[in-house]
Structure 1
């Protein structure tokens, strides 16, 4: 069982813009006051440069074009609707925003199969949408695949009961907590766990200040420590620069990289960079438009493929 993979699925945007349906509880989104066509063109430029950087270090990036007819402004973030597992299982997840539900496309599975990957079983949670219950893939679920633990910060997009169900189905031990951010002077739930936390092979980047409940914070730390993770704590201000939204991936010769946006990289202190680089080099790319309008960053754009090969 590996924590990192060499294969990443990414969806190239064709209708990227600020999604009005997700803005209600994603406080990382901002309006750029640009025409949508301009926003999409900038997002495509950032996307293409990012893919090129990943491929240059030997990451196998499978790029699937979004469907123009779908009007799916957030399709660039596929990790919220699907997860791929080493036993050939695929998880399909219920999405909070109605226009994001159209992102789930069979063509994506067909593409992976055409690349030689094997899909044995699809575990589909999407009927929970009818009850207004959501769990947005590896945005909501942070998987320690080696130690079989799943971390989840509860929010309007991460339901506790459904999370427990996922853990039973996929055989993970659940670590549940609440993570907050300050918005207009009030503490409100952070929409996705992967904005405040990143799990690497031997380390974890986490915004501990966002876990207001001391018992919960202690419990999360206990699990990380007992699994030998080096804990790299970031501030709430750094989290707002997407310093929690990172992913460790494998490049050529099994060399791992911690992938993040330029703004996340720029927000880190020298000591934090040093702590990360003890484990692996950093790979960063400018994702300014995507972060500002989409309210998501590097991690959200990469769906890890752990599926077995034929």
Structure 2
């Protein structure tokens, strides 16, 4: 079992904007005054530059184009609706925003099969949408694939019972906690686990300040240490620069911790040195996508662990 992959699925946006349906509980989103530039064009430029950087170091990026007819402003974040597993299973997830449910498209599975990947079957959690119950893929689920531990910060987009069901289906040990951020002086749940935490092969990046419950914080730290990972802590201010939204990937010759330019700039020299003991850093400017979309580099990359057809 591997923790990281060199194959990433990314969706090129065609209708990108601030999604009014997700803004109700994604406190990272901001409305940009669009009179001075076309937000979608800017997002496409950031996307294309990011893909080019990944490909330049040997990461295999499968780019699928969004469908304009679907009007899916958040399609650039595919990791929320789908996950691809080494046993050939594809996970499909229930989405909080109705307009995000249209991102689930069969042609994306067809594309992966045409690229030589084998899909054995589907684990479909989407019927939970009928009960207003959500679990937004590897946004909500942080998977330690080697040690079979799943971490989840509960929120309106991460239901505890459904998380437990996922862990039973995929045979993961669940670690559950609540992570908060300060919004207008009030502590409110962070919408996705992968905004405050990232798991690499040998270390974890975490905003421990976001976990207000001492018992939950202790349990989380203990689970990570038991899995033989170092802990690199980031501040809440750094989390707001998307320093928690990183993903480790394999390049042609080495491993990379992939993040946005804002995240990279927010790190201290000591934190950068800590990461560079394990892998190189690859960062790209995602300002428009981060500001309007409220998500960053990790959200844009759906890892493909599917087996290749024999």
Distance (whole Å) between structure 2 residues aligned to residue 205 and residue 282 of structure 1: 14
Distance (whole Å) between structure 2 residues aligned to residue 298 and residue 258 of structure 1: 10
CA deviation after TM superposition for structure 1 residue 37, in Å: 7.6
Is 1:226 equivalent to 2:216 in the alignment?
no
Q: State the partner residue of 2:102.
A: 102
Q: State the partner residue of 2:64.
A: 64
CA deviation after TM superposition for structure 1 residue 269, in Å: 0.3
Distance (whole Å) between structure 2 residues aligned to residue 36 and residue 302 of structure 1: 29
Q: State the partner residue of 2:270.
A: 271
Q: Secondary structure at the match of 1:167?
A: helix
Is 1:305 equivalent to 2:304 in the alignment?
yes
Equivalent runs, 1:155-304 vs 2, <5 Å? 155-253=155-253, 255-304=254-303
Q: Secondary structure at the match of 1:146?
A: coil
Q: State the partner residue of 1:34.
A: 34
Instruction: Provide, for residues 55-102 of structure 1, a one-character-per-residue CA deviation record: whole Å limited to 9, x for no partner.
Output: 000000000000010000000000000000000000000000000000
**Could you tell me whether the CA contact under 8 Å between 1:94 and 1:126 is conserved in 2?**
yes
**Could you tell me whether the CA contact under 8 Å between 1:13 and 1:44 is conserved in 2?**
yes
Q: 1:31 to 1:243 in 2, by over 3 A?
A: same
CA deviation after TM superposition for structure 1 residue 36, in Å: 10
Distance (whole Å) between structure 2 residues aligned to residue 160 and residue 294 of structure 1: 25
Instruction: Provide, for residues 245-269 of structure 1, a one-character-per-residue CA deviation record: whole Å limited to 9, x for no partner.
Output: 000000103x110000000000000
Gaps of 5+ in 2: none
Distance (whole Å) between structure 1 residues aligned to residue 123 and residue 4 of structure 2: 22
Instruction: Provide, for residues 283-309 of structure 1, a one-character-per-residue CA deviation record: whole Å limited to 9, x for no partner.
Output: 000000000000000000000000000
Distance (whole Å) between structure 2 residues aligned to residue 304 and residue 262 of structure 1: 21
CA deviation after TM superposition for structure 1 residue 33, in Å: 1.0
**Could you tell me whether the CA contact under 8 Å between 1:88 and 1:308 is conserved in 2?**
yes
Distance (whole Å) between structure 2 residues aligned to residue 195 and residue 249 of structure 1: 17
Task: State TM-score, norm by structure 2.
Answer: 0.99
Distance (whole Å) between structure 1 residues aligned to residue 195 and residue 224 of structure 2: 17
Distance (whole Å) between structure 2 residues aligned to residue 171 and residue 63 of structure 1: 30
**Could you tell me whether the CA contact under 8 Å between 1:85 and 1:306 is conserved in 2?**
yes
**Over the residues paired in the alignment, what is the CA RMSD in angstroms?**
0.8
Instruction: Provide, for residues 127-151 of structure 1, a one-character-per-residue CA deviation record: whole Å limited to 9, x for no partner.
Output: 0000000000000000000000000
Distance (whole Å) between structure 1 residues aligned to residue 35 and residue 106 of structure 2: 31
**Could you tell me whether the CA contact under 8 Å between 1:8 and 1:305 is conserved in 2?**
yes
Equivalent runs, 1:1-12 vs 2, <5 Å? 1-12=1-12
> Which stretches of structure 1, 4 residues or more, deviate above 6 A after TM superposition?
none
Distance (whole Å) between structure 2 residues aligned to residue 130 and residue 291 of structure 1: 30
Distance (whole Å) between structure 2 residues aligned to residue 250 and residue 89 of structure 1: 21
Q: State the partner residue of 1:145.
A: 145
Q: Secondary structure at the match of 2:289?
A: helix
